[in-house]
Amino acid sequence: MLLLAVAAGWRMWGTVLPPTVSEGETPRQPSARPTPSVFTPAHRTLGDAVEAFFGIRPEAVQPIAFSHRVHVENDLGCTDYCHPHATEGPQAGLPSLRTCMLCHATIATEHPEIQKMTAYEERGEDVTWQRVFGFVRSAHVRFNHAPHVRADVACATCHGDVGSQTVAQRLDLTMGQCIDCHEAQQAAIECVTCHF
Ligand code: HEC
Ligand code: HEC
Ligand code: HEC
Ligand code: HEC
């Protein structure tokens, strides 16, 4: 209760306080202050703030019982259909339902999970996959897949043996693990390499 009161107080203070401008100084851009739709610059909602404060990272619950193992056993590579952007840029990306249906319009159509997917398609909805990896916003981490793929760092180094899992399980990467490898492989270790 106290936390809520303090948090609510901070929010009101943030929005009510007039900008401080001393003589001769140009007023600061209003966009630098929290807008009413954002709880604080680091936390979009009160829920986000409370979760970050207690270090809570809820386990992802996926809408479709997807199995990485079944697909890897069928010789699908990670970047073939589902995560091709990992080789090109910062984000690996999650596949859209359309990508799944390239195969599942004809493969395993009687499977109950595939029938769920067909129903999504008929309703014109996409599957809302929950994110598994990622850093809390307040850590201001910037990550980029492509340089790692170019340097032949295997996906499993950071994600574990996803090919033996059903839905992906999170491995928490600490800053120490990033830096240990960067030092060993002579990659950059300046703070701005990984933070904004
Ligand atoms: C390149 C083709 C291909 C793509 C793309 C693909 N799958 Fe599959 N999927 C398969 C094959 C092959 C099987 C195995 C079918 C079998 O054993 O009868 C399979 C099996 C499945 C099954 C049944 C799993 C089980 O436990 O037996 C589910 C559910 C599934 N896929 C979901 C998905 C979802 C969700 C996506 C998109 C994120 C996707 N698939 C993308 C080829 C594909
Ligand atoms: C050096 C470590 C590292 C390597 C190697 C790596 N990843 Fe990642 N991956 C990450 C990190 C860190 C994130 C979270 C990034 C973020 O939040 O911007 C991530 C996120 C992802 C996501 C998004 C997951 C989600 O829950 O939203 C996918 C998919 C993914 N990686 C696939 C791959 C694939 C495929 C490969 C190999 C081609 C790969 N990654 C190699 C570290 C790595
Ligand atoms: C297993 C080794 C390894 C791990 C673990 C690793 N990296 Fe890297 N990283 C590399 C290599 C190798 C490069 C490529 C360096 C180059 O191209 O000169 C790289 C490049 C980068 C770049 C691009 C740097 C540039 O100069 O453009 C960023 C950003 C980065 N890593 C962030 C991270 C973060 C954040 C983590 C932890 C979540 C991480 N890395 C974990 C090996 C690793
Ligand atoms: C190779 C990548 C990399 C480099 C270089 C790096 N960091 Fe980090 N840092 C990270 C990652 C990834 C995290 C998030 C780890 C986590 O969530 O457990 C992090 C977390 C942090 C945090 C904690 C933030 C929070 O809110 O939890 C601080 C503070 C920090 N870094 C400061 C620095 C400083 C200062 C430097 C330069 C001396 C630096 N980092 C260099 C990758 C890096």
Task: Summarize pLDDT for 75-128 with one digit per residue, the tens.
Answer: 999 999 999 999 999 999 999 999 999 999 999 999 999 999 999 999 999 999
| C-alpha to C-alpha distance for 38 and 5, rounded to whole angstroms | 17
83 Cα to the center of ligand 2, angstroms: 9
Q: What angle do CA 162, 165, 169 make, to 5 degrees?
A: 70
| C-alpha to C-alpha distance for 39 and 75, rounded to whole angstroms | 45
| C-alpha to C-alpha distance for 172 and 152, rounded to whole angstroms | 21
Ligand 1 pocket test: which of 73, 104, 125 has the largest number of ligand atoms within 8 Å of its C-beta?
Answer: 104
Sign of CA dihedral 74, 78, 81, 82: positive
Ligand 2 atom showing the smallest separation from residue 173 Cα: 12
The type of residue at 25 is E
| C-alpha to C-alpha distance for 93 and 126, rounded to whole angstroms | 14
Query: For 49-71, what is each residue's pLDDT tens digit?
Result: 666 666 666 777 899 999 999 99
Question: What is the pTM assigned to this prediction?
Answer: 0.83
The type of residue at 9 is G
